[in-house]
Amino acid sequence: MAVLKFEKALSRLETIVAELERGELSLDESLRIFEEGVKLSKTCLKMLDDAERKVEILVQDKDGRKRIQAFSIEDSNLPES
């Protein structure tokens, strides 16, 4: 199976949700795409978890030494939206 890009997986997941919300599918088709959606959801979550582990920032400690630290939204100075 080819590697699925996050954006493509998320887009397909959104399509599945919309199809299920419309309620026009047969029970069998609803179950089939629901199962696909669950798998895509797990795939997207894993990709997000992997990306979070990869995001690191370089910070300087109080002694002026630089060290690598895992990125944390709570530690960032980004304005909240």
| In a domain? residue 15 | yes
| In a domain? residue 81 | no
What does pLDDT average to over the chain? 82
| In a domain? residue 1 | no
| In a domain? residue 24 | yes
Please report which confidence band the pLDDT of residue 79 belongs to, taking 50, 70 and 90 as the band edges.
very low
Overall number of domains in the chain? 1
| In a domain? residue 56 | yes
| In a domain? residue 47 | yes
Q: What is the pTM of this model?
A: 0.64
* Mean local confidence (pLDDT), 16-40: 98
| In a domain? residue 51 | yes
Give the largest CA-CA distance in the chain.
65
> Domain containing 36: what range?
6-75
| In a domain? residue 80 | no
All residues at 6 or more sequence positions from 30 whose CB lies less than 8 Å from its CB, including other chains: 20
Per residue in 34-66, pLDDT tens?
999 999 999 999 999 888 777 665 565 677 777
What does the pLDDT read at residue 59?
Answer: 60
What does the pLDDT read at residue 34?
Answer: 98
- Minimal CA–CA distance to 38: which of 6, 11, 5, 16? 16
